[in-house]
Every structure is written in C-alpha cells, then in structure tokens.
Structure 1
Amino acid sequence: MEIFFCKSWFRAKKCPTEMWCEEQAKAAHEDGKPYTVLVGSIEQPYCFLEVTRRAVGVSFLDQLLRESLSYDFQEVEPGILFLTMATYREFEGDTGKVESGTSYIFGRDGAVTLRREFFNPQRLETSASSADVAANYSPKPEFGRYEDLIRVERSS
C-alpha cells in the first residue's frame, strides 16, 4: 500500500492541496493537527483519510474520483475509534451530481438509523434497527498504519 501525505483533499477539484513530506505529516500526527493521507497514488487515490486528533474520515473514490463511500470514525475511548457513520452515494451517470445517498448512523449500543435521501425529486426516508457493532471499533492508528481503517468491508 503506497501512501502519500498532504494538507487536504480539494473535493471540488479532485486533487490534493499542498503535498507534504512524511516528516511534516508525522509531526502533525504527533501534535494532533489535521493532515490527509492519500492511499494508492497522488493522481488517482483508492481513498483518502482525513486525520485529526479525535476523529478520522475515510473517503473511498470511484474511477472518476467521486466520493462513493465514506466512513466517519470518532474516538470514543483513549486510543479506540468507533465507526459512527457510513455514507454511500449514487451519482447521475458520469457526472458529479449525487442522485441519492444512504447513511447508516451507528450507536455503540447497536442502534442503527438509516437515512436515504433522494435529490430529484427531493425525498427522505428514515428507518431504525439494530445490529452487532463489534466490527465498528478500530484502534486509533499509529502514524503510517491505516490498514484497518481503509477496509471497505467492516463486518467481523
């Protein structure tokens, strides 16, 4: 797994901002300051991680560099992250226009809220259920060790 570091991912332009060397990113990691990790390549990453002191966002990109899937992890105990939300997006053809989005919002107690939003015409559907959320926990990553967070399949 090749990884690259930058200040952030510019979503509108689908490119990184301000590439960083490993030392810059490691200093940000150690200081709890935000930085971004590109996985795979700089021009066509498989995904990118937005790392902050208490949270990590993971965005998986399709071949057109659109965010088709994103995971939001929050630190819930020292050194332990929990996947609080997963969002899947469907796009209109080859455009960047989101047709629909489905978010799964997870509670540590196993509660799951499903929100499915359609944009043309505007419509929102919600439902609630429960699930085994044991696989939603992940150790807070050491610098450079992001393998557990970039797994698309989260089930145990």
Structure 2
Amino acid sequence: MEVIFKTWLYGYKELNTEKGAVGRWDLWNKTKYKQKVEKGELTSQDVAQLNHKEKLGYEFCIFNEDNQEFPFCTANVILKSSHAGVEFIDFIGRKYLNYLLGESLRNKEELFLREIWYYHFTSESGENEDYRMHFVFDEEGNINYRKYDDKNQKFEDYESNRKFDVSGLYEPYPNFGEYESLIRLDRNLPLDIFPKDGNNDNDPDVPKNPWLPGDWNKS
C-alpha cells in the first residue's frame, strides 16, 4: 500500500501536483503553505502532517501494487470537523462507493459512518450510471435509503421499521500515515449494500440482502 498526499483529479484521472493539492488545502484551512511548496521548503506530505496535527483538512490517495494507474481509494480528512470521506475507485477509474464518516456522539476521539453512496453502472467499462443508492445511518440503529434511478427519472425511499446493530460503524481517529482501518472497504455493516440482481444468485461472493424488499432494484 502506497500513500500519496495529493488530490486525485477525477476529470483527468490523474494526480494533482503538490502545489495544486496544497493550494486547495490552503483554501480550506485559510493557511499559506503553497508558497513554501513552490520554493521547495515543504512537500505536500509535510503540509498534510502539519494539517493533521492541527486537525485541519488534507487529502491522500492509496495505491495498491496490482494497479498503479488508478488509486484503490482517495480520502479527505478534517478532524477539527470530525469528518472523513473515503471514495473507492474501480479498475477503470470510476468512483463506485463513498463512505462518509462524521461525529461520534459516544466518544470525541472516534468517527461514525453516517452515509454511504453506492454507484451502479450500466456496463463494466462504460461511464453511464444506471442508478445510485444513498444510505443514511444514525447511532440509534435507524437506517434509511434512497435509490436514484436517472434512467427512468424516479427515486424510491426506504426507511427501516426496526433497529439495527450499528456497533461496527465506529472508527477511531487515525494517526497520521496509519490509514489501514479508515480505508477499509469491508466493514461490519448492518446490511449488505451490494444488491442481488438475479444473475448471481449462486455466486457465494455476492452478499444476500435480508432487509431490502425483493424487487427494490427493479425498474
């Protein structure tokens, strides 16, 4: 796992420059590190570490050895606001999943996974989105979701009528450079967010979804 403290430019599918990334963080944090990066006095990693210490915002990308073209995920962290966002990228550079963590009410030194966005595409290689799902969790165990179906120009809402175990949605504040837990794709979620579509009923790697109605993903 390689951590690079730069912004990922989704439109260009490439890493930003150190100067560009730090300039972006300066706008967030009202700091003035960009000039020091331009002069070679600091690197983007140096600035990220300074921002982490002050609980200010910064970003990083995680690359795996099996794919150096696109990151496994990108992340932004603003601990002063009790915020962290992790966006997962597939093998052709599409964002397909987004975890949004916010303030935990039980402990000031941890985060709670409050939202998940899941994006489903029409084909394995195309950029066209079939639909997207927005899941919202709270610490009382309530769950609701909305399915946005752009193709048919409609959306559907679901709200749970029972409490779920959300103990697996808590995440400790990360130490600088130690992000293995924060960027976990496989989490102990109270539900399976990857839908059963009828074509993979016998595939053991595709999770079943016990709480969604059977026809929730039908057009």
TM-score (norm 2): 0.66
- Quickly say closer, same or farther: Cα 1:147–1:111, change in 2 above 3 A: same
Q: How does 1:103-142 map to 2 (within 5 A)?
A: 103-129=134-160, 130-142=163-175
Q: Provide the rounded CA distance (Å) in 1 between the counterparts of 2:63 and 2:93.
A: 13
**Number of matched pairs:** 155
Q: Provide the rounded CA distance (Å) in 2 between the counterparts of 1:80 and 1:46.
A: 24
Higher strand share: 1
Cα distance, 1:134 vs. partner? 0.4
Cα distance, 1:43 vs. partner? 3.6
Q: Provide the rounded CA distance (Å) in 2 between the counterparts of 1:18 and 1:28.
A: 18
Show structure 1 runs of 4+ deviating over 3 A. Answer: none
Deviation string 1:80-102 (CA, Å, 9 cap, x unpaired) is 10000111101132232221111
Cα distance, 1:33 vs. partner? 2.4
Higher helix share: 2
Bigger Rg, structure 1 or 2? 2
Q: How does 1:21-36 map to 2 (within 5 A)?
A: 21-36=44-59
User: Which stretch has the larger CA shift, 142-151 or 41-50?
Assistant: 41-50
Which runs of no fewer than 5 residues in structure 1 stay unpaired? Answer: none
Sequence identity percentage: 28
Report the equivalent of 2:74: 48
TM-score (norm 1): 0.90
Q: 1:59 is matched with which residue: 72, 79, 87?
A: 87
Q: Provide the rounded CA distance (Å) in 1 between the counterparts of 2:5 and 2:172.
A: 21
Q: Provide the rounded CA distance (Å) in 2 between the counterparts of 1:14 and 1:132.
A: 37
Which runs of no fewer than 5 residues in structure 2 stay unpaired? Answer: 19-42, 190-219
Report the equivalent of 1:3: 3
Q: Provide the rounded CA distance (Å) in 2 between the counterparts of 1:52 and 1:95.
A: 33
